[in-house]
Structure 1
């Protein structure tokens, strides 16, 4: 079964019995099985167990008093979406013995409606207004797991960690605010395991995307009003770098003198913000947003390094391509990894090992400075510019928990032709971290993309993981099995 979207099983009862056996085995062992479950479920069980969720809990815990529900609901941004969600799903829920649930970002139920008999039964486990369905509160479930993973999910019967929920199945999808990028809440359809088809997750996801489209339309209307009302502030800068920024940090308009990222990180207090390239900018309040402007300061060059998988490396300096020799690419990599700078002796050791000569390193630096100018500073040797390097970006992504951005950012080994001891060490460390990250957290799509790189195409562990995760009729699983067979016996 692919993660998030299990296929319909021919015998739900038999499959439920198998899941119950896996469930009991996991509780006895104190950890979920490695391969027998969908990775989505085993990861959720692991999070739930680590949070101390009681598998014998009888109900989700209350999140707030019943008398406060109306006030909490009306104050929440999801309240504006309730009519659209109800119009899309409520008739289906009522006609098919399901219940429709809307939560906030923490999994607290703001609103519920649907089939009356189903709601009466749902009351027994707290599937009702005001109860907490986050994973840390009640373990693996559609709402909590969708919110934890920021993706649509279908949870079937004994895939729930708590035994009292094994008669239920649920399909849920998070709703993400296009303005802030944060999860607003979740929409869920729940029913007994015999009434809720796995394909329901597609219907729920479509409703969530419809809600996000509604939010995006409202956001664009606000942006247009903001630009209309405050565009004069940008024009008053007379070509100096500046931008109009929303209250959530989105750049909604910018002058031509500066390339802006889509979003800036707003400070918790004060009127200064640090841009991704390290410069400080000022924020002038404009009611529903800000005017961002740069104080008078010299231009800071931007050096772009794309060295992952690069057989023939090059750099970009303020957008202009600069071809590089492998040795110069190695020096730039070392300086980017050591922003505090390095001496000729240190560079020589990193480049050549014990046999290195500082004179050779100085000569290479001299030739590199002839190509790039003062962005390569001396005493110590360092990069006197803003650096945007794909290997540094990958490092930052590896510090997080999301696998998909890592899979997208990984372009191959760092400078694969380099024999520099320091580069080899950095390359091997990055490869090991990417491999471990994707094996632990990667979806089938992430692992398949990784398995098609030169480094991982014949990795038996990656191929075995793909075979375990993908259904038998998936062409990627078939390709992984063929590659495994070609590797011979372990």
Structure 2
């Protein structure tokens, strides 16, 4: 490998475990001491190490936070949105993991390990590492790892040997993929397959990613079922309404409408209650509770809020939101990773940004305008008249404020968009 080249994953996994471990340890030691490494770490690993250094994680000492008690673990399992897909995950992972001397681990969105199954010998090794049910494996607690790092990056990550930031984890290899809620993009947890370094295989990450996608597909099927039940509940009420109305679930997905075209989804106020409300795509409405959702009676035509204040909050590492306030009321919407990127870029370009410019910002490829237009169409469903297009921009009279993290390098850590990476540098 050439000096200053990046570690090639295929070549790394083709090496014997001892050689790969020595190479990675040399890279990590050099990076941590400010020396020039023989090769550069993979980008997702290098970025994680820099987060650990900024956060003060100690690479030489294994810190273990208190385990959750049995009752607390049981309660988290009962309330976990991943519980309905646990059979899918077990069927797809456990038997293969056990045969390959791996274990399957499922965490919640905080990084707490809720389920762990697989090869008995590897389970015992996991115990010695503190990799056990009830433990917290968030990245800012135990360093770079296959549970905590995907929670930050929102992408599947494979971590080999000394790519772990804490040296006591060097004998371990893990591959984790985040699972998100298809209804609102909320991060639900991580599915991870881990085992001794000598069992590493480059195909493990693709396998885990596919299983996470399978779990999300099952969650979508379950959601369709809930909408069908809500449709049946709402049908009698909608039949008696002469004007415009729709029945939506708690995430704003539409089950049925009357007197208006079908809308896939509307953005609901964060704390919706019965009575008057303002919804960007609909305007003034009245809300009535239904079993499993809401009946929205539309009062008037959609219109933008006058004297609008828009607060974009990207200060937190894993949750982002946009808050709209004006004379008609206030409203908050949590953002998906992609929409957080888009709204941040539009806030930085108040004079507007065309589809090609946004594609260049997000992908480094101005030709990817179809993807940008599709995402902006989804954004406009909940920001409605507050966004103009040709070029895309916030309305001129809107007061737009952006809440940023204290450290610019912590801006949207999941993002690989070229413009976001540039924004993380103080000189931006």
TM range (shorter): 0.5 to 0.7
Runs (5+) with no aligned partner, structure 1: 303-335, 341-391, 417-422, 424-435, 451-460, 463-490
> What is aligned with 1:482?
none
- Aligned equivalent of 1:89, options 86, 90, 93: 93
> What is aligned with 2:294?
290
Is 1:242–1:292's contact at 8 Å kept on the other side of the alignment? yes
Is 2:280–2:303's contact at 8 Å kept on the other side of the alignment? no
Q: What does residue range 95-114 of structure 1 map to in structure 2 within 5 Å?
A: 95-114=99-118
Q: What does residue range 450-461 of structure 1 map to in structure 2 within 5 Å?
A: none
> What is aligned with 1:14?
19
> What is aligned with 2:237?
233
Once residues 105 and 393 of structure 1 are traced to their aligned partners in structure 2, the CA distance between those partners, rounded to angstroms, is 19
Once residues 119 and 146 of structure 1 are traced to their aligned partners in structure 2, the CA distance between those partners, rounded to angstroms, is 22
Cα offset for 1:396? 1.5
> What is aligned with 1:248?
251
1:189 is aligned to 2:193:
yes
Once residues 107 and 411 of structure 2 are traced to their aligned partners in structure 1, the CA distance between those partners, rounded to angstroms, is 30
Once residues 245 and 273 of structure 2 are traced to their aligned partners in structure 1, the CA distance between those partners, rounded to angstroms, is 18
Is 2:155–2:414's contact at 8 Å kept on the other side of the alignment? no
More strand, by proportion: 2
Q: What does residue range 386-401 of structure 1 map to in structure 2 within 5 Å?
A: 396-398=343-345
TM-score computed with the length of structure 2 as normaliser: 0.67
1:184-241 Cα offsets, whole Å, 9 max, x none, are 2111100122102121111112211221222111111111111122123333332x33
1:363-414 Cα offsets, whole Å, 9 max, x none, are xxxxxxxxxxxxxxxxxxxxxxxxxxxxx998624379x9999445389xx9
Is 1:63–1:132's contact at 8 Å kept on the other side of the alignment? yes
Cα offset for 1:180? 3.4
Once residues 252 and 345 of structure 2 are traced to their aligned partners in structure 1, the CA distance between those partners, rounded to angstroms, is 24
Once residues 405 and 222 of structure 1 are traced to their aligned partners in structure 2, the CA distance between those partners, rounded to angstroms, is 38
Cα offset for 1:280? 3.2
What is the CA RMSD across the aligned residues, in angstroms? 4.0
1:409 is aligned to 2:372:
yes
Cα offset for 1:51? 2.9
Is 1:169–1:193's contact at 8 Å kept on the other side of the alignment? yes
> What is aligned with 1:175?
179
> What is aligned with 1:55?
59
Q: What does residue range 17-416 of structure 1 map to in structure 2 within 5 Å?
A: 17-29=22-34, 36-66=40-70, 68-238=72-242, 240-255=243-258, 257=260, 260=263, 262-271=265-274, 272-276=276-280, 279-295=283-299, 297=300, 299-300=301-302, 396-398=343-345, 406-407=362-363, 408-409=371-372
Cα offset for 1:165? 0.9
Runs (5+) with no aligned partner, structure 2: 310-338, 348-357, 364-370, 375-388, 397-408, 423-428
Cα offset for 1:178? 1.7
| Closer, same or farther: CA 404–182 of 1 in aligned 2, 3 Å | farther
SS at match of 2:195: strand
Once residues 441 and 248 of structure 1 are traced to their aligned partners in structure 2, the CA distance between those partners, rounded to angstroms, is 23
> What is aligned with 1:324?
none
| Closer, same or farther: CA 8–118 of 1 in aligned 2, 3 Å | farther
| Closer, same or farther: CA 16–265 of 1 in aligned 2, 3 Å | farther
Cα offset for 1:74? 2.8
Tell me the number of residue pairs that the alignment of Structure 1 and Structure 2 aligns. 335
Cα offset for 1:248? 2.3
In terms of mean alpha carbon deviation, does 70-79 or 122-131 score higher?
70-79
Cα offset for 1:56? 2.1
| Closer, same or farther: CA 224–199 of 1 in aligned 2, 3 Å | same
SS at match of 2:10: coil
Greater Cα radius of gyration, structure 1 or 2: 1
